[in-house]
């Protein structure tokens, strides 16, 4: 594929772009004629032919050439994996590669007269890194099982195993430096590896900031087991925020679950990253976690330390055949010990999400669904990327959530409940088939951007059963039942989403969604949130329609009015803008004896 214009990838951590062979069924939808067992390097290439390109968070597998960078194209490549390819990058122009994995690639780079700056890359199991016609300057990289290198390959603070060494401050590991966990083969060994914390900080500050959120440590795996006692999980795969380790850094997975039955509450603390896969030979019914009667699975993230719940392939490069079983159940399923379909919400298990990212690749299975019992999901301030939520008997209550290319569905004869407020659906589908039932649907202050909508309304116009108003839709796009729908925004050719500190779904300053909601923002905990790139918080104004982010200062830090180190949105626990019961503190009053910051000297005169 050739791209003639300038290119910027909108992929990111836990939702990479994947370029792979037609026979690779581990990601995406199976293509007609696929064998399911890719072999060789026969995939086509992505050729960039514009004046600039940013290739970020991407995977190239089974390609003859993964990426071709044409002459005169200024290209930055970051957070990439090249796996089982003939050549990784064919560079005809100078190129920067930050945090790259080149695994089982015959020749990592190819080209003529180009210079590649590589920082924090791992090159493993290759004939060579590059031909003599190229100049490769490496810093904080790892080279293992490389047959040859040339004098044009230089730099410093690189690690070597079973290959010729070069450059200043070479670091040698005498044993194999990697360990494999699941579908990832290049975590560093945790005992005795010379590459741990051996890097230099004399690299680009952006690179250091990037790997500070990543890890060289593997997850702890829970597979085909039981959790019967209340358990709290916290981050354990060390993020590389100090002296950096060498080589490629993965997006963290602290724990990975498969076929785990949970009989007591489980909690995930801020910043914990959870992966999941389906047990092999599970007959298609595989799942990560199965939660039973009255069990609560709580993901308690924050704006700056969100929890993550992601299928393994959003992080791990694959190619080894492990964890590749693809089932139809999902990441977390709800079951009942009593047998049959337990539909009483009082007894049902609950998935609770706050500031949590749930990630699947396109055409992935369910994020959450029922098995033989009602599934309940209560989500706030969270993002769900790809996959499905619900199937037959599911309750969903979502406030201020983003659903990016997600299918939300209930298609069963049992009663359900759907409650969406200040959510944004980007693509995907909303399908609620009541099958003659009159269970409640309440959707208000939500934005639907290219979403396919099919919602039954058997209420006969009873707004206490089906209420959908103050929502926004593209012109001529699918809309919700018109009961009463007197305040919808429907004249939108585009939402024109903007990017800022926390994501890509901010609104323009002249968006018709601003102040177009049903009530004031403080009523639903959005006092300290914003939809604007200028970071002006909602406070108690009429709420903007759609998903909100926590408002920040000019440096991207959540607003902290009193300077006590605790952001306003956390101190004001219910987000109503009033210091009241349950709040952690009064965000408007300094804790420093009435002074405005801690950077002062207080002098007290002793009593005589």
Identify the residue with better confidence: 398 or 410.
398
Contact 195, 122 (CB under 8 A): no
Look at residue 423 and tell me whether its pLDDT is greater than 50. Answer: yes
Least confident window among 27-36, 124-133, 184-193, 443-452: 27-36
Span 1-8, average pLDDT: 84
| Distance from the first to the final alpha carbon of the chain | 85
- The per-residue pLDDT for 437 is 80
What pLDDT digit, counting tens, does each position of 476-503 carry?
A: 889 998 766 689 999 899 999 999 999 9
Average pLDDT of the chain, as a whole number:
92
Measured from the Cβ of residue 314, the count of other Cβ atoms closer than 10 Å reads 25
Kind and range of the H or E run holding 89: strand 87-91
- The per-residue pLDDT for 564 is 93
Cis peptide before 484 (omega within 30 of 0): yes
Contact 88, 116 (CB under 8 A): no
Map residue 569 onto helix, strand or coil.
Answer: helix
pLDDT tier at 595, thresholds 50, 70, 90? low
Look at residue 450 and tell me whether its pLDDT is greater than 90. Answer: yes
What pLDDT digit, counting tens, does each position of 305-333 carry?
A: 999 999 999 999 998 889 988 888 999 99
Q: Write down how long the chain is.
A: 608
Look at residue 74 and tell me whether its pLDDT is greater than 50. Answer: yes
Give 331-368 as a DSSP string. EEEE--TT-S-B--TTTS-EEEEESEEEE--TT--EEE
Close Cβ partners of 216 (under 8 Å, ≥ 6 residues apart): 187, 188, 195, 196, 240, 245, 247, 248, 249, 250
Q: Tell me how far CA of residue 608 lies from CA of 34, 215, 395, 605, in angstroms.
A: 90, 59, 68, 9
- The per-residue pLDDT for 38 is 87
Close Cβ partners of 508 (under 8 Å, ≥ 6 residues apart): 496, 498
Pick the closest to residue 183 from 32, 326, 306, 33 (CA basis).
Answer: 326
- The per-residue pLDDT for 96 is 96
Instruction: Give the separation between CA 214 and CA 122, rounded to whole angstroms.
Output: 14
Measured from the Cβ of residue 104, the count of other Cβ atoms closer than 10 Å reads 18
Instruction: Give the separation between CA 521 and CA 400, rounded to whole angstroms.
Output: 11
- The per-residue pLDDT for 243 is 95
Q: Tell me how far CA of residue 244 lies from CA of 116, 120, 250, 287, 518, in angstroms.
A: 21, 9, 13, 35, 49
- The per-residue pLDDT for 604 is 45
What pLDDT digit, counting tens, does each position of 176-202 carry?
A: 999 999 999 999 999 999 999 999 999
Pick the closest to residue 212 from 137, 319, 304, 134 (CA basis).
Answer: 304
- Strand ranges of the sheet holding 266-268, from the earlier edge strand across to the other edge: 231-233, 266-268, 296-300, 350-354, 375-380, 394-399, 417-421, 441-444, 466-469
What pLDDT digit, counting tens, does each position of 208-260 carry?
A: 999 999 999 999 999 999 999 999 999 999 999 999 999 999 999 999 999 99
Look at residue 414 and tell me whether its pLDDT is greater than 80. Answer: no
Q: Write b or e for each residue in 516-553: b if 16 or more Cβ atoms lie within 10 A of its Cβ, otherwise e.
A: bbbebbbebbbbbbbbbeebebbebbebbbbbbbbbbe
Contact 198, 245 (CB under 8 A): yes
Q: Residue 228 corresponds to which tokens in the numbers above?
A: 């019967």
Domains of the chain, start order: 1-172 (2.160.20.10), 392-495 (no CATH), 503-608 (no CATH)
Kind and range of the H or E run holding 571: helix 568-571
Dihedral sign for Cα 200, 80, 177, 130, please: negative
Kindly tell me the burial class for residue 24, based on how many C-beta atoms sit within 10 Å of its own C-beta (0-12, 13-18, 19 or more): buried
Pick the closest to residue 41 from 286, 319, 392 (CA basis).
Answer: 319
The upper half-sphere exposure of residue 497, i.e. CA atoms within 13 Å in the direction of its Cβ, equals 21
- The per-residue pLDDT for 30 is 83
Measured from the Cβ of residue 282, the count of other Cβ atoms closer than 10 Å reads 15
- The per-residue pLDDT for 20 is 92
What pLDDT digit, counting tens, does each position of 53-63 carry?
A: 999 999 999 99
pLDDT tier at 594, thresholds 50, 70, 90? low
pLDDT tier at 284, thresholds 50, 70, 90? confident
């Amino acid at each position: 594929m050739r791209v003639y214009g300038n290119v910027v990838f909108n992929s990111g951590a836990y939702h990479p772009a994947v370029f792979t062979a037609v026979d690779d069924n581990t990601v995406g939808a199976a293509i007609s004629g696929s064998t399911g067992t890719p072999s060789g390097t026969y995939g086509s290439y992505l050729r960039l032919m514009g004046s600039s390109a940013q290739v970020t968070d991407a995977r190239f597998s089974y390609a003859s050439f993964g990426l071709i960078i044409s002459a005169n194209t200024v290209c930055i490549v970051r957070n990439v994996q090249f796996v089982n390819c003939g050549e990784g990058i064919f560079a005809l122009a100078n190129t920067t590669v930050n945090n790259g994995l080149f695994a089982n690639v015959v020749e990592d780079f190819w080209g003529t007269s180009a210079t590649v700056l590589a920082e924090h890359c791992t090159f493993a199991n290759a004939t060579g890194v590059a031909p003599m016609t190229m100049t490769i300057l490496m810093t904080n990289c790892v080279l293992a099982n490389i047959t040859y290198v040339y004098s044009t390959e230089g730099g410093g603070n690189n690690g070597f195993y079973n290959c010729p060494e070069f450059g200043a401050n070479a670091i040698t590991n005498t044993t194999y430096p990697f360990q494999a966990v699941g579908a990832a083969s290049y975590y560093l060994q945790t005992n005795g590896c010379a590459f741990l914390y051996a890097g230099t900080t004399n690299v680009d500050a952006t690179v250091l900031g990037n790997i500070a959120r990543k890890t060289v440590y593997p997850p702890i795996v829970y597979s085909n087991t039981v959790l019967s006692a209340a358990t709290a999980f916290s981050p354990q795969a060390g993020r590389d925020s100090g002296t950096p380790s060498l080589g490629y850094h993965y997006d963290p997975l602290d724990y990975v679950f498969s076929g785990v039955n949970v009989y007591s509450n489980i909690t995930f603390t801020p910043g914990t990253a959870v992966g999941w896969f389906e047990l092999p030979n599970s007959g298609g019914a595989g799942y990560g976690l199965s939660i039973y009667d009255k069990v609560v699975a709580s993901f308690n993230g924050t704006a700056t330390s969100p929890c993550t719940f992601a299928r393994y392939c959003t992080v791990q490069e694959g190619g080894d055949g492990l964890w590749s079983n693809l089932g139809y159940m999902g990441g977390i399923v709800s079951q009942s010990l009593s047998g049959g379909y337990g539909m009483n919400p009082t007894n049902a298990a609950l998935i609770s999400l706050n500031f949590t990212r749930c990630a699947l690749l396109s055409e992935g299975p369910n994020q959450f669904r029922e098995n033989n019992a009602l599934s309940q999901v209560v989500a706030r301030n969270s993002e769900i990327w790809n996959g499905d939520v619900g199937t037959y008997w599911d309750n969903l209550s979502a406030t201020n959530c983003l659903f990016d290319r997600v299918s939300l569905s209930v298609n069963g004869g049992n009663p359900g409940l759907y409650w969406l407020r200040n959510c944004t659906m980007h693509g995907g589908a909303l399908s609620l088939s009541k099958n003659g039932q009159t269970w409640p649907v309440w959707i208000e202050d939500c934005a639907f951007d290219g979403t396919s909508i099919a919602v039954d309304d058997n209420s006969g116009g009873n707004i206490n059963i089906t209420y959908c108003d103050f929502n926004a839709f593209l012109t001529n796009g699918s809309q919700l039942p018109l009961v009463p729908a007197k305040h919808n925004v429907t004249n939108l050719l585009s939402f024109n989403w903007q990017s800022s500190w926390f994501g890509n779904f901010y609104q323009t300053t002249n968006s018709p969604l601003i102040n177009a909601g049903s009530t004031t923002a403080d009523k639903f905990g959005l006092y300290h949130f914003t939809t604007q790139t200028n970071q002006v918080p909602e406070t108690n104004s009429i709420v903007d329609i759609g998903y909100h982010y926590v408002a920040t200062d000019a440096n991207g830090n959540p607003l902290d009015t009193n300077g006590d180190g605790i952001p306003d949105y956390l101190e004001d626990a219910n987000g109503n803008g009033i210091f009241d019961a349950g709040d952690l503190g009064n965000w408007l009053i300094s804790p420093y004896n009435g002074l405005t910051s801690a950077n002062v000297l207080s002098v007290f005169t002793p009593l005589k």
